[in-house]
Chain A
Amino acid sequence: MNSLAQPAKWEKVLWPLLAGAVFLAGWHFSVKYSGSKIFPSPVDVQKGVAELLRKGVLWGYIVDSLRRVGVGFSLAALLGIPAGLILGWYPAAGQVVNPVIQMLRPISPIAWIPLSIVWFGVGDAAAIYLIFLGAFFPIVVASMNGVRNVPSMFRRAGRNFGLKPAQLLAKVVFPAALPQIIMGLRIALGIAWLVVVAAEMIAVDSGLGYLVIDARNSGKRYDLVVAAMLLIGLIGLMLDIAFRRLEKLKSVRWGFRLEA
């Protein structure tokens, strides 16, 4: 087999499965031979998940986490895309606002926790606000850069066909920037999923992040801690896979060079 050969279908399934099995085996035996009293084995974790399902709290937690991410991320997209388009469209506005954005952007949403609790109290609103903050800046920056990177040829062609500025933005600049905007949304969704866990550890009493901290605080149940961690990873992966399907749409696929 050379590097240009397409992997067969069974290979695409087999190798990840094999890697997963090796990982689980490595985990199992390292727990077993180290004699760790704290770190759970894969079997303990599996039992923990079963226990959570039996108690009927797991689905509720998953839905709560997804709901918070859904609301916070949607708000960020709803405000961030238009804001980015405007900042990219009016370079003067971009120059004024960009330094502020670039300064706020590196502040971890976690650092906003005290203020968000002051403003929104302990509860959903505070968690959603943190997710919004985490997702908003990458969306604004991606949309702004997307507009700036639209080849001048496309704008000129649009003007040549008699488009007014608003039409030019809607019919040329936005679709031309859309692949970059989608990339920004995808990054933002990943961040939102990171932030929800942190937010739920502090601001609320449900969700997967709450499960992690609650399992530790109420009886040092590290089997449940690791179970929650794995679920967070798995759901994050599924969100990303679902989002990547957007990149396959024909009207944006031209913007993604690395085809799977």
Chain B
Amino acid sequence: MAQAFKTKLRAEGISMVFKRDGNSTSVLDNISLDVGDGEFLCLLGPSGCGKSTLLNTMAGFLSPTGGEVRIDGEVVTGPDPRRIFVFQERGVFPWLTVEGNIGFGLFKLSRGERERRIAHYIKLVGLQGFEKAYPQELSGGMKQRLEVARALAVNPDTLYLDEPFGALDSITRLIMRGELLRIWEAERKTIIFVTHDIEEAVQLADRVVVMSARPARIQQIVEIDIPHPRDISSPRYLELRDGIFEQIGLAHKI
């Protein structure tokens, strides 16, 4: 990273044990991690490893059974509009138009300011001409952009993205990665992005946190020292990607 590392979020000794029907399952095991201000961090791990659980504790939707999450030094106790969680595109409200969705979190602002922000973010995510459209009239990629716009409109300093492009087709997914990087470069939010896709992580992140299978531990943190736009056939890209493949214990031969 070019700029000096300033901690935005600090996870200290996060553990999570779920108790169900008398059985207890350890999902997160003593995870400590610092996320820099304005950093793009990917949490990478196999499906079901607990990376979503970690993201949910960072967002305040779940309280960890051990340890704590601090943001700007404050302990996280619940969700907060300063940090918005983006689901797969299913999180947009189907009863509101594109405008209504983007304006959803802006109820405290004056009408003029609200309209200005809505217009700004419609433009930023390229949904001009669809202001009055309902989500069911939009494609999957458009819905995903709408959800990102709704999140950005409240001007949060952190975005949590939980496999946001998982439900999109592979071409749309590639386009959306480019869009997200463009938006990130324009707005410089701290982004914590959960994925199980190694390529996606290496294309997007400043650092990739590789997690083990359940109970999740941090296996390795890989710094992706390639400037954007990244050449995904460059030797360094392939080297980093293959390193992670090996780390996870996969040979990439089919």
Q: Enumerate chain A interface residues (CB-CB to B < 8 A).
A: 151, 153-154, 156-157, 159-162, 167, 171-172, 175-176, 178, 250-255
Complex: A41 Cα to B91 Cα, angstroms: 59
Complex: A255 Cα to B96 Cα, angstroms: 13
Report chain A residues within 8 Å CB of B236.
Answer: none
Report chain B residues within 8 Å CB of A251.
Answer: 95-96, 134
Question: Could you tell me the dominant secondary structure of chain B's interface residues?
Answer: loop
Q: A161-B84, A251-B134 are in contact. List 8 more A-B contacts (CB 8 A).
A: A156-B79, A160-B59, A161-B81, A161-B105, A178-B95, A251-B96, A253-B134, A254-B94
- By beta carbon, the residue of chain B nearest A152 is B61
- By beta carbon, the residue of chain B nearest A251 is B95
Which residues, 83 to 123 on B, are CB-close (under 8 Å) to A?
Answer: 84-85, 87, 90-91, 93-96, 104-105, 107
Complex: A252 Cα to B134 Cα, angstroms: 10
User: In whole Å, how far is A168's beta carbon from the nearest beta carbon of chain B?
Assistant: 12
Complex: A240 Cα to B94 Cα, angstroms: 25
Indicate if the CB atoms of B93 and A159 lie closer than 8 Å: no
Complex: A160 Cα to B76 Cα, angstroms: 13
B139 in contact (CB, < 8 A): no
Indicate if the CB atoms of B93 and A172 lie closer than 8 Å: yes
Indicate if the CB atoms of A157 and B95 lie closer than 8 Å: no
Report chain A residues within 8 Å CB of B85.
Answer: 156-157, 160
B80 in contact (CB, < 8 A): yes
Indicate if the CB atoms of B80 and A157 lie closer than 8 Å: no
Report chain A residues within 8 Å CB of B244.
Answer: none
Q: Enumerate chain B interface residues (CB-CB to A < 8 A).
A: 59, 61, 78-81, 84-85, 87, 90-91, 93-96, 104-105, 107, 134-136, 154
A-B contact count (CB 8 A): 51
User: In whole Å, how far is B104's beta carbon from the nearest beta carbon of chain A?
Assistant: 6
- By beta carbon, the residue of chain A nearest B85 is A160
A156 touching B154 in the complex, CB below 8 Å, given contacts A252-B95, A254-B94: no
Indicate if the CB atoms of B136 and A161 lie closer than 8 Å: no
A161 touching B95 in the complex, CB below 8 Å, given contacts A153-B87, A254-B135, A254-B136: no
Indicate if the CB atoms of B136 and A157 lie closer than 8 Å: no
Report chain A residues within 8 Å CB of B81.
Answer: 160-162
User: In whole Å, how far is B198's beta carbon from the nearest beta carbon of chain A?
Assistant: 26
Report chain A residues within 8 Å CB of B93.
Answer: 154, 157, 172, 175-176
- By beta carbon, the residue of chain A nearest B147 is A157
Complex: A38 Cα to B93 Cα, angstroms: 59
* Pairs A-B, 9 closest by C-beta atoms: A161-B105, A254-B94, A175-B95, A162-B81, A160-B79, A251-B95, A254-B136, A159-B79, A153-B91
Complex: A161 Cα to B105 Cα, angstroms: 5
Indicate if the CB atoms of B61 and A156 lie closer than 8 Å: yes
A-B contact pairs, 29 of them (CB 8 A): A153-B91, A154-B91, A154-B93, A156-B61, A157-B91, A157-B93, A159-B79, A160-B59, A160-B79, A160-B84, A160-B85, A161-B81, A161-B84, A161-B104, A161-B105, A162-B80, A162-B81, A162-B105, A167-B107, A171-B104, A175-B93, A175-B95, A175-B96, A176-B93, A250-B134, A251-B96, A254-B94, A254-B135, A254-B136
Complex: A156 Cα to B135 Cα, angstroms: 19
User: In whole Å, how far is B140's beta carbon from the nearest beta carbon of chain A?
Assistant: 15
Report chain A residues within 8 Å CB of B95.
Answer: 175-176, 178, 251-252, 254
Report chain A residues within 8 Å CB of B134.
Answer: 250-251, 253-254
Complex: A157 Cα to B154 Cα, angstroms: 13
Report chain A residues within 8 Å CB of B80.
Answer: 160, 162
- By beta carbon, the residue of chain A nearest B160 is A160
- By beta carbon, the residue of chain B nearest A252 is B95
